[in-house]
Amino acid sequence: MTSTGPQVSQTALPGFNRPLAYLAGNPFPNAVEPIPSDTRSRGQRTSWELAMLQIMDRITDKHRWFEKIFNKHIVARWRREITEQDSPGIVPLTTEMIDWIFEELQYKADFFFGEDMVKAFDEGVMKSDSIVPEDLRLALLAAVRPLDDLPENEKDYRPSSDRKIVDLVHPSLYPLVYGRTRILSNDITNLPNFLEHSGRGLHRRFQWLPCNVKIHPDGHCRITSYINNLRPDSDCALYDVIEKIITCTVPLWNETLTPLIDDAYRNFNRIDYSGPDMSPPEPEKWPVLDDWTNLLRQWRVSHRLPPPKIGEFEPFPPVEIEVDMKTMFQKHGLQVIVKLTNIELTPEKTSYAGGSWHISGRMNEHICATAIYYYSNHNITPGRICFRQRLNLDDVVEFSEYEGCPCEWVPGAFGTGSLGEPFTQVLGSVECRQGRLLTFPNILQHRVMPFALADPTRLGHRKILTLFLVDPNLQIISTANVPPQQADWFKETARARNEVLARLPPELQDMIKEYLGGDDLISENEAADLRVELMEEQSAVSKDQGWLFDNHNVRPVCSH
C-alpha cells in the first residue's frame, strides 16, 4: 500500500488551528449536530405506513425475493399470510395497502437487479446480503484470525460487558486526547512511514481517530493512513480486506445519504394523513356542553382508529440531488473510523441482553453514516437491530386543535408515546444475518436487540465489522495527522534506536532524544484507564441523550 494523500504545509483541522466546532461547506444533517430539526426528522409517517415497511422488509429477507415477487402463486400465498397475521405492534392493513406493498416490491426488484441492494426504511436504512461476495467474507475471517486467536489473558474484553464483548479493534483505545496527543503540524503520516513520526508533532479531550481513504475514479477505495489500533505491517492482509469492504459499502452510503439532502425524496409519504374522521353517532338527547365534550373524548379514545385511504401505487419522486461520493469527494477522499467486535456466548453465559438506544459518535467525530457488516454468526438465535426517529408532528397537532378535534388519536396513528410525551417513533428493525451489509444515517437512533445461544450447550458468537463515515464535507484530525500512540508498537524500534544512541556521547544522546520525543506514547495500562474515562464521560451524557433526542436537541454519545 502506498499513500496518495496530499502533502499539507500547515495542518488546520477542527481542534487544531481551527475551533473545535468548525463546520465547512454543507455538512449532512445528523442527530448530534446543531442543525435545524426539520432536516433531522421526517414529517408524518403513520402506523399503517410503518407496518407496510416492516412487511416489505420481511419479504425482502426471503431467499430470491426479487424473482418470487413476480410469481403470482407465491404472491397470493404471501397476501394470505399478511391478511391472517396477528403480529403485536403491527396494525391491520387494508386491501389497498397490501396491493401497494406488492407493486412497490416489484418496483424495488428492478432496482435490486441493477444495484444489489434494497432500502429497508426510507430514512436511508440500506441492506445487502450479496454486495460483499462470499470469498471476501471468508478472507475477512482468515485475516482477523490472529486477533481472534489471542490468548485469553490478552483478549480485550469490553468493560461492563460481563466478558461477552471482545474488542479486536476499537476507537476508544488510544483516541485523540486533547492537550495530550501530539499532532503533526507540517506533515502527514502515511502507511510506509507510519512509525517514523512517533513522538513528533505539536501538543494539543477525546476524539476517535479515523483513517483516511482515497476513492479512485473506478470506485476502488484505498486506505492511505493507518487504522487506529491495527498495525499495517503485521496486519496488512486485514487492511486489504477492509479496503475492499469499504469499496462495497460506498454505493450503500450513497443511497443512505441521498434522502438527507433531497427534500422531495425525504418527505415522500405513501399515506397523507392529517387526522381521522371519528364522528360518533348522534345522541338521542343532547347533554350539556361540558358533559358532551367529555363523552366525545371518551368515545374517541375507546374506538379503534379507522384506517386511512391510500391511493394507487406511485414510485418515489425522481431524485433531484443524488449523493455520489466517487465524484463529489474524490479530491479529499473519505475518513472512516474502524471497529471490529465479537459478541461471544458460552454455556455459562447463554444470552446477550442487547444494547441501549444511541447515536454513533460524538459531535467532534462528525459521523454522518454507519455501516455494519455481520461477517460471522455461529450458534445464535436470529437477532435484529432496531431504529427510531424523532417526528415533527407540530403541523398535525396544530391542525387538529384548530379544527376543534382533540389529539387523542395521534399516538395510535403515528405509533408514538402518549399525549404530552415526545414524539419519538420506532421505525422497525432489520435482521442481523450473516453476510449482511447494513448502512444507516446518523439522524436515527439504533439499538441492538437481545439474542441467545441456539444450542445452550455449545459456544456461539456474532462477529461484526463497523465502519463509521465521517462527514466527507469536512476533514477532522485523523491518523494522517497523529502518529501512533501505542507504546508497544515501538518496542523494537526503540530498542534499535537505543543501540545506536549508546555509541554516541551523552550530550548528543540527550539532544537527539529531546528532538525525537516519545514521552507521549501511551502504555496499555494507561490506554485502558483513558478508555474507562472516555466511557464514563459517555455514560454521563447518555443519561441526557434520550431526553435530548426526544426533545429535538441531541448531544453526541455512542455506547458501542
* Residue 542 within any structural domain of the chain: yes
Do 416 and 471 share a domain, yes or no? yes
Phi-psi region of 310 (alpha: psi -120 to 50; beta: other; left: phi over 0): beta
**What's the Cα-to-Cα distance from 231 to each of 169, 209, 317, 379, 447, rounded to whole Å?**
10, 14, 46, 31, 30
How far apart are the C-alpha atoms of 113 and 504, rounded to whole Å? 68
Q: Give the three-class secondary structure for 263.
A: helix
**What's the Cα-to-Cα distance from 76 to each of 56, 189, 483, 560, rounded to whole Å?**
15, 60, 61, 42
* Residue 24 within any structural domain of the chain: no
Q: What is the tens place of the pLDDT at every residue in 5-33? A: 444 446 778 777 776 667 777 888 877 76
Q: What is the tens place of the pLDDT at every residue in 486-525? A: 888 876 666 655 665 566 567 665 655 555 555 568 888 9
What local confidence, expressed as pLDDT, does residue 139 receive?
98
Do 110 and 159 share a domain, yes or no? no
Least confident of 73-77, 408-412, 453-457, 528-532: 408-412
Strand 206-207, strand 176-177: pairing: antiparallel
Q: How many domains does the chain have?
A: 2
Do 209 and 62 share a domain, yes or no? no
Indicate the pLDDT class of residue 89, thresholds 50, 70 and 90.
Answer: low
Kindly give the residue spans of alpha helices, DSSP state H, lying in 312-393: 325-328
* Residue 311 within any structural domain of the chain: no
At residue 75, what is the residue type? V
Phi, psi of 14, deg, nearest 5: -55, 125
* Residue 288 within any structural domain of the chain: no
Do 188 and 336 share a domain, yes or no? yes
Domain finish residue from 61, 89, 115 = 115
* Residue 282 within any structural domain of the chain: no
Give 460's strand partners: 345
Domain finish residue from 62, 84, 115 = 115
Phi, psi of 411, deg, nearest 5: -60, -40
Least confident of 99-113, 171-185, 283-297, 303-317: 283-297
Prediction pTM value: 0.85
Do 254 and 157 share a domain, yes or no? yes
Give 247's strand partners: none
* Residue 355 within any structural domain of the chain: yes
Indicate the pLDDT class of residue 128, thresholds 50, 70 and 90.
Answer: very high
Range of the domain at 62: 42-115
What local confidence, expressed as pLDDT, does residue 31 receive?
77
Residue 199 has pLDDT above 50, yes or no: no
Domain finish residue from 115, 144, 174 = 115
* Residue 280 within any structural domain of the chain: no
Q: What is the tens place of the pLDDT at every residue in 420-466? A: 555 678 899 999 999 999 999 998 999 999 999 999 999 999 999 99
* Residue 180 within any structural domain of the chain: yes
Do 111 and 130 share a domain, yes or no? no
Q: For the beta carbon of residue 417, count every other beta carbon within 10 angstroms.
A: 14
Residue 408 has pLDDT above 70, yes or no: no
Task: Say which DSSP state 275 is in.
Answer: -
What local confidence, expressed as pLDDT, does residue 512 receive?
54
Do 47 and 185 share a domain, yes or no? no
Indicate the pLDDT class of residue 254, thresholds 50, 70 and 90.
Answer: very high
The residue ranges of DSSP E strands in 198-242, in sequence order, are 202-203, 206-207, 211-215, 221-223
Please give the grid coordinates belonging to residue 485.
500512540
At residue 554, what is the residue type? V
Q: What is the tens place of the pLDDT at every residue in 202-213? A: 334 788 999 999
How far apart are the C-alpha atoms of 398 and 396, rounded to whole Å? 6
Do 106 and 129 share a domain, yes or no? no
How far apart are the C-alpha atoms of 6 and 330, rounded to whole Å? 12
Q: Which residues make Cβ contacts (< 8 Å) with residue 213, sequence separation at least 6?
A: 221, 222, 223, 224, 243, 246, 333, 334, 335, 336
Do 132 and 70 share a domain, yes or no? no
Do 342 and 447 share a domain, yes or no? yes
Do 538 and 423 share a domain, yes or no? yes
Q: What is the tens place of the pLDDT at every residue in 131-187? A: 999 999 999 999 999 999 999 989 999 988 999 999 999 999 999 888 788 887 666
Do 158 and 258 share a domain, yes or no? yes
Residue length of the chain: 560
How far apart are the C-alpha atoms of 535 and 356, rounded to whole Å? 14
Please give the grid coordinates belonging to residue 153.
489473558
